[in-house]
Structure 1
Amino acid sequence: MTDYQLVSDYKDIETYKESFNELAKIVFGLDFKKWYEKGCWNDNYICYSYVDGDKVIANASINKMQFVSNGKEYTAIQVGTVMTHPDYRNQGLSGKLMNHIIKKYEQEFDIIYLFANESVLDFYPRFGFGTVQESSFSLNKSDLKAQTATTHSIRMLDTDNTVDFRMMEQFAVERTPVSSIMGVKNNEHLLMFYFILAFNDAIYYIEDVDTIVIFKQDDKHLHIFDIISKQKVDYDIILNSIVSADTEIIHFYFTPDYDNENLQTEFITESDDTLFVRPTCDGGTKHFLIPLTSHS
């Protein structure tokens, strides 16, 4: 293998940052530019990359955050944006980056984890990662605990509106974890990514309860991707404010901390995002789902 240079933590170095973004567009079809031009690339997102000259040819990034599981907090590293330029594959670059990250952080953090698709399921166990099965959570609208005619007005937020965007930034920093069963803290850089790039047409503010909800209604299915609040979420108020006459089933993309005996849970058997954790663990609770908006 050619002796490529390893560089890291280059969010303020334009040449590397732009080259990283070009590689992300080639490999994943992702364009980070709007995200980092809006100032969302902070010190909790660090790239480790091999460069050939000034060109980023392989990368593995880390996301520093705190994990909340059953009310306890753990320091965590999520590995993401693992990619290699097509012209430089089969040289072991991703493996070298993974080993570098593990050696650097395994003593400092309680957990290292990542999500991977089925094409690389045999790759990460080589580095001591084990798979952990997540669950799905849903609720029939008819099983809402307190169906009420009292609703709260909701307003769609616009990431290109300065006032709205500042509000999103504030909520990202000050939010409480969406769940004490399984949640994350200090991951505002990732939430801002979802605000700006993934769900910019699905962000709503409920002023009466000072809460932002990311959701989409698809036919009879209501998909709730995140509930961002500065205090404990009141699910009955939130759900009654966003369900429509057409809603029959509510899907949660996180572990709802919702005391409702009719909440339906089942293990996810097929997914494009398989959870890998190091050291291996059982998640600490039978059914859980790491919040979608914390995925890197």
Structure 2
Amino acid sequence: MTTPTIVEIGHRDHALQATFCDYVPQVFRTVDFRRWREWGEWNDDYRAFAVLDEGRVVANASVTRMRLCVGDRELTGYQFGAVGCVPSHRGQGLSRVVMQAALDACGAAPVLLFANENVTGFYPRFGFIPWKQELFGAAFHATPESEPAPVLELAEPSIRAGLVSLLDEGLAVTGRFGARGHARIASWYAANAFSRPLRQLSAEAWVFAGVENGTLYIDDIFAREPFDLRPHIPRLIDQPITAIHFGFTPERWWPQASVLGEDTEAWLFVRNLVPPPGPHRFPVMART
């Protein structure tokens, strides 16, 4: 069988981006890239390696260039996403072909990806190994404050620009195993209505957070400097809470947080990368 031709789709390839956006919901039913692309968030950090058939994407593996924070060191690495094949073309080895093309583009750099439990046997074929992630939380009782932190709308270009600035120049939410500069990953969640509200604690401290069933979920913190999170909790809630759960390793914000169990929402795989020892959780808003 002839090896299919791989097409690389970058941030200037507008026609190919459109067919990529048509491909995505065929493989991932609840996922869409159209609004994110319309916002202008597809930059040169995001590349898609695709197989085309009659002008449409039928298989793909995308890579996002990232500034990874591993044990307080910053590394340039990549994260895979949107890996798959449309139903009509499965069984032809196309997913293997696009995966290999994407890996070739990454060279020897660290690579990570998150997968669902149905495909955990696929990625070890390419040198990926599974790596355990934990959930972190703490008991904490609080009631709402009369003046809640305002909600910021990422549909506004100025807010997206502010998020880019905070993430490029500010403090990584965790130094254990995390990322910096992932504003355009976070905006993808907002564009798909997958994120909790983005709230402004101050001009230089923004937080993705929301309350469910008496628990405050803090998914990410974007700040230029570290600060004491506790006095701000009443501004992030609209009902009394008895617990806080974190979408990242909270050693900088809540050192007394406990490990609540294993994070099984998505399975982490790494290649050319060894996360630091001890419990950690790669930030949920930096996952593709």
1:194 to 189, 198, 218: 189
- 1:204 equivalent to 2:205? Answer no
1:28-80, CA deviations, whole angstroms, 9 ceiling, x for partnerless residues?
13221111111111111110001113111100000111211221122211111
What pairs up with 1:1-296 in 2 under 5 angstroms? 1=1, 3-29=3-29, 30-107=31-108, 109=109, 111-142=110-141, 153-199=148-194, 202-207=197-202, 210-243=204-237, 246-258=240-252, 260=254, 262-268=256-262, 271-279=264-272, 281=274, 283-296=275-288
Aligned length: 287
125-134 or 66-75: bigger deviation? 66-75
Query: How far apart in 2 are the matches of 1:72 and 1:152?
Result: 38
62-71 or 9-18: bigger deviation? 9-18
Q: SS of the counterpart of 1:248? A: strand
Query: How far apart in 2 are the matches of 1:213 and 1:240?
Result: 13
Query: How far apart in 1 are the matches of 2:187 and 2:168?
Result: 10
Give the TM-score, by structure 1 length.
0.87
Query: How far apart in 1 are the matches of 2:2 and 2:259?
Result: 49
Letter aligned with residue 225 of structure 2: Q
Gaps of 5+ in 1: none
Change (3 A) 1:85 1:254: same
Query: How far apart in 2 are the matches of 1:69 and 1:140?
Result: 28
Letter aligned with residue 31 of structure 1: D
Query: How far apart in 1 are the matches of 2:173 and 2:254?
Result: 16
1:116-165, CA deviations, whole angstroms, 9 ceiling, x for partnerless residues?
111111111111111100010001104xxxx8999975101123345444
The 8 Å contact of residues 143 and 239 in structure 2, kept in 1 or not, is answered as no
TM-fit CA distance, 1:242: 2.1
Letter aligned with residue 95 of structure 2: S
Change (3 A) 1:8 1:242: same
Change (3 A) 1:43 1:237: farther
RMSD over equivalenced CA pairs, Å? 2.5
Query: How far apart in 1 are the matches of 2:151 and 2:239?
Result: 19
The 8 Å contact of residues 45 and 189 in structure 1, kept in 2 or not, is answered as no
Change (3 A) 1:68 1:233: farther
Letter aligned with residue 178 of structure 1: V
Query: How far apart in 2 are the matches of 1:238 and 1:123?
Result: 43
1:157-191, CA deviations, whole angstroms, 9 ceiling, x for partnerless residues?
12334544443343344332111122202322212
Q: SS of the counterpart of 1:228? A: strand
Q: SS of the counterpart of 1:141? A: strand
Change (3 A) 1:189 1:79: same
Give the TM-score, by structure 2 length.
0.90
Query: How far apart in 2 are the matches of 1:9 and 1:68?
Result: 27
TM-fit CA distance, 1:104: 3.0
Q: SS of the counterpart of 2:230? A: helix
Letter aligned with residue 291 of structure 1: P
The 8 Å contact of residues 59 and 84 in structure 2, kept in 1 or not, is answered as yes
Q: SS of the counterpart of 1:154? A: coil
Query: How far apart in 2 are the matches of 1:241 and 1:84?
Result: 44
